[in-house]
Structures are given as C-alpha cells and as structure tokens.
Amino acid sequence: MFLTGCAGRKANPIAIYLPGDEKRSCDGLKMEIAQLQADMQRMLPKTSKEFTNALWATAGFFLIAPYFFMDLKDAEKTEFDAMRRRHNRLLMFAANKNCDMSGIKAERIPSIEERKAAAKSQTESKVLENKAVNNNIR
C-alpha cells in the first residue's frame, strides 16, 4: 500500500460536458477547441510511461529506491482522455451549428488505444509490403 501511495499523482480530469456547452457561440467553441488542442499536444508525450517505468523497474531490481519514482497511476493519460473526449464533444456542437472552423484542425481526435492500434496496423502493413517486394525480387 505504501508503494502505491507514492506511485504517481492522482488524476484531475476536466469535465467532458459543462451545462450550456450546446448554447455556446461558434467563436467560444472554436477558442476552447483550439486551447484543448494545444493542451493535448503538450500533454501527449507525457501519456506513455511504459519506457520510463521499465527503466525504474530495472534499476529497482538492484536497489529499492527507484521503485518510488515509478508512475503507476497514469494521471496524464486519464487527463488527456478527458480533454480528448471534451474536444470531440465540442466539435460535435460546432458541427451542429455549422460553425466556421477555419484556422484550427477540426477533426475527431482518436484515443491513445486507437492511435496505438493504427500505428501497429501501419507497421504490419509495411512489413507485409516489404515481404511482397522481397518475394518479387527473388
């Protein structure tokens, strides 16, 4: 129990829906969507802790202290997902109002799991493509 108490900070996700969201002006929606995109861009590199935790766990094999630096709570991932879901909801409201979203990237942001699956699929496609090219060379 002591180790899990030190294993990262508690997540503080934003609300996905706030009362009155559907009544916001197009400019208000556009400004918040742009801010969410900037915040998510800044937070995305912090959402993957696997490599860092693996390093700390390896060091912890030899010494106990590195285990205290592992982040097992995934606060950033939880917060990123809440921002992503709010972003996508606000985009839906903006689309329903036919807002002009020029100047910002107005497309749904996939979840981290969807991104990983897409990256894996692309990698597998490239491997199959390379195998086909290699088979044609022979």
Per-residue pLDDT of the chain (138 residues), as tens digits, is: 444 445 567 888 999 999 999 999 999 999 999 999 999 888 877 776 554 445 445 544 455 555 455 555 678 888 999 999 999 999 999 999 999 999 888 888 888 788 788 888 878 776 667 666 666 665
d(CA 131, CA 127): 6
Instruction: Provide the phi-psi class of 39: left if phi over 0, else alpha when psi is between -120 and 50, else beta.
Output: alpha
For residue 89, what pLDDT is reported?
96
Q: The whole model's pTM is what?
A: 0.64
> Domain spans of the chain?
2-107, 110-138
